[in-house]
Amino acid sequence: MRQIAFNTPIVTQLEQDYVRDALASPKHAGDGPFTKRCQQFFETRYGFPKALLTTSCTDALELSALLLDIVPGDEVILPSFTFVSSANAFALRGATLVFADSEPHTPNISVDAIEALITPQTRAIVVVHYAGVACDMDPIMALASRHDIAVVEDAAQAVDSFYKGQPLGGIGAMSAFSFHETKNVSSGEGGLFVANDPRFFERAEILREKGTNRSSFFRGEVDKYGWVDVGSSFLPSDILAAYLTGQLERLDTIQSRRKAIWQGYRNRLDSVAEYGVTLPHIPDYATNNAHMFYMVCDNLDQRTQLIAHLRERGILAPFHYLSLHASPYFKDRHDQRAIPNSDRYTECLMRLPLHLGLSDDDVAYVAEAVIDGLRR
């Protein structure tokens, strides 16, 4: 029986050559030549004012919380339908987490839900561009500006995706990307912090370097470096950056193939609407970076049966996030507001395999298995 994995990392000779070069170099630690190449890639291609590689997207989010000086009593609004890292970064600083609902037509955070939750204690709004599809940023940024609240973009899934022509990650005060092995471009584990507000440029370097002004020292701006702030070690090895460099240099090729796979699913699955299943919605203001192809089933039983049917056909098609407001850790802390759209995505959303190891025949096989499973 054919076996189709949900994700398979694809590494070419280019990545292997760059990793070999990094291993042969005397610089294996952070901020080596490959790190600088990756950061320059994002600053040049997308116009990000300040890009800093991190060991993970989680670290980039934690750096954001440090830069915003989040303290106990501060409130942070974020979607309930997201990965736990979006919340942990601010919970670690003692913030009060205020979970917002998703939109009815996408898993992205609802602008109306945000507005209803803002209080004088709100210090940050965290938006998550689910599946690489943009949140509706103009009204969110207008809300934030009116209330003097920082916006942090969790762009973990959103490399090479845009909102009204603006690259995601380049709109809020700061943002975080992921290069986990499931992402469009990968270093196995890895992340990127982006600062769009000049107020954060210098301090971001310091906090990322264990609270020292080491970067300024190596640029010759100070004659010695020392401990000047409370920070942590967020730098990845230059060996990981070498792996990422090869991926970034192949970005256009990667994106072209991922988009073809995504469109292949879309073309073959129109008939699922007969069974109450909805396919991804791409708003007019957003582009699709083909990070994910998901479906929203009519109910939990339908999803459970369909996932089991696909597994019998050798296809791994998992569900996704569990609503954080209802999680074992947070449910007793939640204010008991209903968050229905998040709960619906928790119970009904499932994802199809999407990676460069898929052939067109694989895509057709998966789509046929989906339709067959829904008919039963």
| 51, containing H or E segment | strand 50-54
In this prediction, residue 230 carries a pLDDT of 86
Alpha-carbon gap, residue 301 to 286, rounded angstroms: 32
Alpha-carbon gap, residue 361 to 238, rounded angstroms: 38
Alpha-carbon gap, residue 300 to 229, rounded angstroms: 49
Alpha-carbon gap, residue 340 to 80, rounded angstroms: 10
- CA-to-CA separations, 53 to 135, 294, 319, 353, 355, in angstroms, rounded: 24, 29, 30, 28, 24
Structural domains present in the chain: 13-249 (3.40.640.10), 251-375 (3.90.1150.10)
User: How many C-beta atoms surround the C-beta of residue 270 within 10 A?
Assistant: 9
The pairing of strands 166-167 and 50-54 is unpaired
In this prediction, residue 69 carries a pLDDT of 97
User: Which regions in the chain score pLDDT beneath 50?
Assistant: none
Alpha-carbon gap, residue 48 to 87, rounded angstroms: 24
DSSP calls for 137-202: HHHHHHHHHHHT-EEEEE-TT-TT-EETTEETTSSSSEEEEE--TTSSS--SS-EEEEE-SGGGHH
* Contact yes or no for 33/187 (Cβ under 8 A): no
Show the tokens assigned to 70.
């989040």
Show the tokens assigned to 47.
């116009």
By CB neighbour count within 10 A (0-12 exposed, 13-18 middle, 19+ buried), where does 133 fall?
Answer: buried
Q: Return the half-sphere exposure (C-beta side, CA atoms, 13 A cut-off) of residue 278.
A: 14
The C-alpha angle 47, 51, 54, rounded to 5 degrees, equals: 150
H-helix segments, 30-100: 33-46, 57-67, 84-91
In this prediction, residue 250 carries a pLDDT of 98
In this prediction, residue 220 carries a pLDDT of 67
Alpha-carbon gap, residue 117 to 150, rounded angstroms: 15
In this prediction, residue 216 carries a pLDDT of 66
Interhelix angle 238-249/33-46, nearest 10 degrees: 40
Give residue 374's Cα distance to chain centre.
Answer: 30
Question: What pTM does this model have?
Answer: 0.96
